[in-house]
Chain A
Amino acid sequence: MLLRHTTADVTERTALTINPAKTCQPIGAMYAALGIHACLPHSHGSQGCCSYHRSTLTRHYKEPVMAGTSSFTEGSSVFGGQANLLQAIANIFDIYDPDVIAVHTTCLSETIGDDLVQIIAKAREEGSIPPGKMVIHTNTPSYAGSHVTGFSSMVKSMVGYFSEPSDIRSRTINIIPGWVEPSDMREIKRLVGLLGAESIMFPDTSDVLDAPQTGKHVFYPKGGVTMPALRRTGESAVTLALGPTASEAAAKALDVKCGVPCETMTLPIGLQATDRFIDAVRLHSGHGVPVAIEEERGRLIDIMTDMGQYLQGKRVALWGDPDQLVALSEFLVDLDMKPVYVVTGTPGKVFERRMERALQGRVPEAKVQQGATADMFLMHQWIKQEPVDLLIGNTYGKYIARDEDIPFVRHGFPILDRIGHSYFPTVGYTGAIRLLEKFLDVFLDRRDRDDPEERFELVM
């Protein structure tokens, strides 16, 4: 057994997190920053942070992930990291020539109390920031929130640094996609395009973290939201914040700063959440929903009606980020499945209320938990008490899947051992079809493996 020390006996823990269902803020800030065109993320802390974040993002995307570090030593920890960051900013513009450097802090620089606003002002004063270039920052203390918080904070900082208040009100819709994959961002843009709406998506990692092999390493790939587009977000008609945990802070900041009204929505994963998203874009764009989208929806419903027998009543355990878990749970309930165990390490009581709505009163036995000790160890203990039919979550679930012999669909971050998430979306109706295909594949493969010979089915 891989996790041989995990037993069904749940004891209360107050101090020890085991097999966490979250990681720390800075990696989220780094991921968000990669969604700005020609932006080099920069980690203000020890080298290890930057190395770990780059490694994890690289393993997830199998793509280059470039970022700088302030390379703190004991000296900088005592005297502050100003000298290191000033050097870093000057060197990065000289050597790597980005349009934007997006600095995020770490638990080290936060504990020291480095004032990034002042340091960036000093860099500008010293002439290290070339004309037209920007250095932005966000505070990402690793000892609060989670990786999703870091993502949210960096997106909010994009508003703070770039969005310009304007007297003009365009018809453009700002879309903050939340922490989703490049494939999802591409899909959301496609759907919005089909609905005839103009949009600015930020951040946007499509064409950044799914770059083609051309024989050349394009240091700043063609994707990412540009600085001019970010500035124009202040004149848009509305902001759609997809997933409150990852996107609402930025949308609200944009409302406060530029008076762009915002609407926070569930991530458009699954049927109903996609319905709501499409409807919202329809209302804001003033165009009707094209037949093409209705047909996509129809194909999804077709599979739900045709293949429901293999899904109905199945018990599911999920772990990951709040926005994904809420959307996935709602979809599972719509499939007559039962999300019975749902954990996220990302703290926040609001998650429990959102989950209650997502479960629509249909899974009274569901156990939902958030925060430090809402970890994969606890979820595994619950599974030991009463098993599930399906696991949905990041790669770390494979240890439970193998030990307990439970079908497993990878979703979320990080996925370290499979490809596909960068290329095939799980948002929208086609994304939901992909999820259904994955669920059905693991369930039916399991039947093909386990059914007695006399009951082995050719047609399913």
Chain B
Amino acid sequence: MPDTDNLIKTVTPLPDPEAAKEALLKSYPTKVARKRTKHMVVNDPATLSAIQANARTIPGIITQRGCSYAGCKGVVLGPTRDIINITHGPIGCGYYSWLTRRNQTRTESDAEHNYIPYCFSTDMQEQEIVFGGEKKLEAAIQEAYDLFHPKAIAVFATCPVGLIGDDIHQVSKRMKEKLGINVFAFSCEGYRGVSQSAGHHIANNQLFKHVIGRGTTPVEGKFRINLLGEYNIGGDAFVLEDLFERCGITLVSTFSGNSTVDGFERAHMADLNCVMCHRSINYVADMIEKKYGIPWFKVNFIGANSSAKSLRRIAQYFENDELTARTEQVIAEENEKVAAAQSRIRPRCEGKTAMLFVGGSRAHHYQDLFKEIGMKTVAAGYEFAHRDDYEGRRVLPDIKVDADSRNIEEVTVEQDAELYNPRKSADEIAAYEAREFHFNDYDGMMPEMEEGTLSIDDISHHETERLIEMYRPAVFCAGIKEKYAVQKMGVPCKQLHSYDYGGPYAGFQGAINFYEDIDRMVNARAWAFIDPPWKTRTSPKLTASYGDQ
């Protein structure tokens, strides 16, 4: 029998990171190597190097990146249950984004709208490509309205729409007037930008222009916040909703997990914006602050320590003794369970290594969870993040806007004549900042990574395989496209987009779930059975035995 009780427990001496980086680039054509080297940094917290990010992917390199439509319709708008999202284009884009992102949502009763299990498409045909698709889009909006009477309809452009020149915004405007419900459109053609990231920005802009601030019904509650950049994959938002409720915090809206259009419309009534996934939603946070005077700061509810820290920051912001006391009580209750789980699981995972190549924030946040069970992240990178997500927002002034980003609208925002109300005065903000309590800030992933670890942006499949061969991590975190190639290499792959259909992983209970899942994964017996017993036998000597002895 193979030794299945002692899998991959010790870390072999890690390779020299500079040599590893060289090895990743070695078999590339010179031009490709020259480009890719800028996307790879050997981390040194003392001297932060610049990393190339949000740049064009090299054709043919086998990237994991998706497109602007995926970022806009799939990521940001997808999780909202009561908007009818119509994909304007051929059938594929709507089909592939139909229920595949695990955005959970919960309604009180069947009387509430929930369109998440539905896919709506104009299923554009050759005729529309030639003669234009505006008429079909208009008819589709009408048919959606007649059938369902939704509160809002959103329209998403796919690649050909921009090329043939359909004016989806004009059609939406017309239908909004005709139907008396909110109808708005997103020019998120797949070719815009260099990745999903462009789609996030486009989604942010239109939500801000067409939805946020329309609500007039006041929001009750003493401590009102919005949670930005939380998409309720695997029920994460449910965990956080519960935590806030127990602390006495009122969640006005979440962008956009378990969310409703009503919540979005009243987002301007919150007194604080908490940003989870900086990459996908920081634009909304900035715009809301400018228009309505609501400050924002970065939170992180992945990892028990980070969750506690984030809850405390919210309590500090509101400066209320009762809130602070309740928050501390919740943290204490939760930490007791967390500590028990850690002491059970840490010895089984301690010293093992992890790699994370995913998303625009998860590759950073999930490092905290691994730390809590004694695992070390040896390499990490984002699929579509920008330099500020790696190096921190301090580099924002240095980021050159290239042609691919320039064509995404920068919305000009002004203070709202009636609704602008700075929740904290400039003096108050300054006082916070003096206490190292920062607003509008994100330090990024790289400053938190250990010396000698690797940051690799938009990692290619080739690099993924070489990296795994060199490091043999105990677990590799990525998405569905990498999952089975990594596993074929004998290394478990944890999906951090879909959580392998598990989770939730947010908050304290989420942390416990994650520890348990990682423990199960890295200590699973199956990995030890890959080589058949006759192949692992060292000498071909003849043996005989009776029965099964």
Which residues of A does B touch, CB under 8 Å?
Answer: 1-5, 11, 13-20, 22-27, 42, 45-49, 51-56, 58-59, 62-77, 84-85, 87-92, 94-96, 106-108, 111-112, 141-144, 146, 211, 213-218, 345, 372, 377, 396, 399, 416
Nearest residue, chain B, Cβ from A27: B92
Interface pair B60/A89, CB less than 8 Å apart = yes
A48 to B525, CA, bound (A): 36
For B32-76 the 0/1 string (1 means CB < 8 A from A) is: 100000000000000000000000111111111111111000000
Q: Which residue of A lies closest to B479 (CB)?
A: A55
26 pairs of residues in contact across A and B, judged by CB atoms under 8 Å: A3-B117, A3-B118, A16-B140, A16-B147, A20-B94, A20-B119, A46-B68, A47-B57, A51-B481, A52-B92, A55-B100, A59-B480, A64-B485, A68-B61, A70-B60, A71-B194, A74-B191, A75-B404, A94-B28, A107-B92, A108-B159, A111-B129, A143-B129, A144-B126, A217-B465, A217-B485
Given A5-B115, A217-B488, A399-B117, answer yes or no on A71-B56 (Cβ-Cβ < 8 Å): yes
Contact A16 B139 (CB under 8 A): yes
Residue B144 at the chain A interface, CB threshold 8 Å: yes
Q: Is the CB of A396 within 8 A of B98?
A: yes
Contacts of A69 in B (CB 8 A): 57, 59-60, 63
**Which of A25, A58, A107, A218 contacts B159 (CB under 8 A)?**
A107
Given contacts A77-B191, A216-B488, contact A95 B61 (CB under 8 A): yes
Contact A214 B484 (CB under 8 A): no
**Stretch binding the partner chain, chosen from B5-13, B83-91, B316-324, B540-548:** B83-91
In the complex, chain A residues whose CB is within 8 Å of the CB of B126: 141, 143-144
List residues 108-122 of chain B with CB under 8 A from any CB of chain A.
Answer: 110, 113-115, 117-122
A91 engages B465 (CB within 8 Å): no
- Complexed CA–CA distance, A230 and B403 (Å): 44
B118 touching A19 by the CB < 8 A rule? yes
Contact A107 B90 (CB under 8 A): yes
Given A48-B66, A48-B70, A96-B462, A68 and B59 contact (CB-CB distance below 8 Å): yes
Inter-chain CA distance A71–B126, complex, in Å, is 23
A23-B29 contact, Cβ under 8 Å, with A17-B122, A45-B159, A141-B126: no
Contacts of A65 in B (CB 8 A): 481
Residue of B nearest to A26 (CB): B92
A403 to chain B, nearest CB (A): 9
A213 touches B136 (CB 8 A): no
Please tell me if the beta carbons of A72 and B118 are within 8 angstroms of each other in the complex.
no
Partner of A14, one of B119, B143, B479: B143
B401 → A minimal CB distance (Å): 14
| Contact partners of A112 in chain B: CB under 8 A | 163
Chain B residues closer than 8 Å to A5, beta-carbon distance: 113-115, 118, 147-148
Tell me the bound Cα distance from A1 to B109 in angstroms.
9
Asked if A66 and B117 sit within 8 Å, CB to CB, the answer is: no
How many A-B contacts are there with CB distance less than 8 Å?
267
Would you give the shortest CB distance from B193 to chain A, in whole angstroms? 8
Least Cβ distance of B133 to chain A in Å?
Answer: 9
Query: Provided the pairs A74-B407, A89-B60 are in contact, do residues A211 and B488 lie with their beta carbons within 8 angstroms?
Result: yes
A17 in contact with B489 given A46-B67, A70-B59, A91-B60 (CB within 8 Å): no
Q: Does B419 contact A (CB under 8 A)?
A: no
- What is the bound-complex CA distance between A64 and B482, given in angstroms? 7
B530 to chain A, nearest CB (A): 4
B residues near A20, Cβ cutoff 8 Å: 91, 94-95, 119, 121, 123
Contacts of B487 in A (CB 8 A): 213
Beyond A46-B189, A58-B480, A215-B489: 5 further Cβ-contacts under 8 Å?
A5-B115, A16-B120, A91-B29, A91-B59, A216-B490
CA distance A16 to B159 in the complex (A): 19
Could you tell me if A42 and B60 are in contact, using CB atoms closer than 8 angstroms? Answer: yes
Of the residues B65, B114, B124, B531, contact of A4 by C-beta under 8 Å: B114
Complex: A141 Cα to B94 Cα, angstroms: 16
CB pair B110–A58 under 8 Å, yes or no, is: no
For the complex, what is the distance from the CA of A90 to the CA of B69, rounded to whole Å? Answer: 28
Residues of B within 8 A of A396 (CB): 98-99
Nearest residue, chain B, Cβ from A65: B481
Does B179 sit at the interface, judged by CB under 8 A? no
Measured CB to CB, the residues of B under 8 A from A are: 27-29, 32, 56-70, 86, 89-100, 110, 113-115, 117-126, 128-129, 136-140, 142-144, 146-148, 158-160, 162-164, 189-195, 403-404, 407, 461-462, 465, 479-481, 483-490, 530-531
Q: Which of A71, A77, A215, A399 has the most CB of B within 10 A?
A: A71
By the criterion CB–CB under 8 Å, are A215 and B129 in contact? Answer: no
A214, B488: Cβ atoms closer than 8 Å = yes
Say yes or no: A372 contacts B28, CB within 8 Å: no
For the complex formed, measure the closest distance between the CB of A268 and the CB atoms of chain B, giving whole angstroms.
28
Q: Closest residue of chain A to B142, judged by CB?
A: A15
Residue of A nearest to B199 (CB): A48
Contacts of A58 in B (CB 8 A): 480-481, 483-484
Is B163 within 8 A of A77, CB to CB?
yes
Most A-side CB within 10 Å, residue of B61, B115, B192, B194: B61
| Contact assessment for A372 and B63 in the assembled complex, using a CB-CB cutoff below 8 Å | no
CB-defined contacts of A70 to chain B, threshold 8 Å:
59-60
**What distance in Å separates the Cβ of A331 from its nearest Cβ neighbour in chain B?**
27
Cα of A84 to Cα of B397 in the assembled complex, Å: 31
Q: Which residues of B contact A377 (CB under 8 A)?
A: 118
Residues of B within 8 A of A76 (CB): 191
* Residue among A17, A51, A64 making CB contact with B121, cutoff 8 Å: A17
Query: Which 9 A-B pairs rank lowest in CB-CB distance, beginning with the nearest?
Result: A48-B67, A24-B92, A88-B60, A46-B190, A15-B139, A52-B96, A142-B90, A91-B60, A88-B59
Q: Which residue of B lies closest to A81 (CB)?
A: B59
Assembly CA distance A213 to B492 (angstroms) = 12
Bound-complex Cα distance A48 to B73 (A): 12
Which residues of B lie under 8 Å from residue A14 when comparing CB positions?
A: 139, 143
Determine if A372 and B125 form an interchain contact, defined as CB atoms under 8 angstroms apart: yes
Partner of A51 from B32, B66, B122, B404 at Cβ < 8 Å: B66
User: Using Cβ atoms and an 8 Å threshold, which residues of chain A touch B114?
Assistant: 4-5
For A23, the chain B residues whose CB sits under 8 A away are: 91-92, 95-96
Find out whether the CB atom of B92 lies under 8 angstroms from the CB atom of A87: no
Bound CA span A55–B495, Å: 12
Cα of A24 to Cα of B404 in the assembled complex, Å: 27
Q: Of B59, B123, B407, which one neighbours A84 at CB under 8 angstroms?
A: B59
Chain A residues near B90 (CB-CB < 8 A): 24, 107, 141-143
B58 to chain A: closest residue by CB: A91
With CB as the reference atom, state the residue of chain B lying closest to A395: B99
Partner of B32, one of A25, A73, A95, A106: A95
* Contact in complex: A68, B124 (CB < 8 Å): no
Shortest distance between the CB of B479 and any CB in chain A (Å): 8
A108 touches B191 (CB 8 A): yes
Q: Which residues of A contact B191 (CB under 8 A)?
A: 46, 72-74, 76-77, 108
If A23-B92, A91-B60 touch, does A11 touch B147 (CB 8 Å cutoff)?
yes
Is A213 a contact partner of B163 (Cβ separation < 8 A)? Answer: no
How far is A442 from B400 in the complex, measured between Cα atoms in Å? 60
Identify which of B189, B465, B486 gathers the most chain A CB atoms within 10 Å of its CB: B189
Q: Is the CB of A55 within 8 A of B29?
A: no
Closest to A221 in B: B488
- Provide the residues of chain B in CB contact with A45, threshold 8 Å: 159, 190
Chain B nearest CB from A70 CB (Å) reads 5
Inter-chain contact A87/B128, CB cutoff 8 Å: no
Known: A58-B480, A91-B32. A17 touches B117 (CB 8 A): no
Across-interface contacts of B530 in A (CB, < 8 A)? 213-215
Residues of A within 8 A of B490 (CB): 213, 215-216
Which of A14, A20, A63, A106: most chain B Cβ within 10 A? A20
Cα A62 to Cα B485 in complex, Å, equals 10
Determine if A75 and B121 form an interchain contact, defined as CB atoms under 8 angstroms apart: no
**Complex Cα–Cα for A68 and B462 (A):** 12
How many whole Å from B532's CB to the nearest CB in chain A?
10
Complex Cα distance, B480 from A64, in Å, reads 9
Whether B125 pairs with A143 at a CB distance below 8 angstroms is yes
Residue on B nearest A143 in the bound complex, by CB = B90
A2 touches B124 (CB 8 A): no
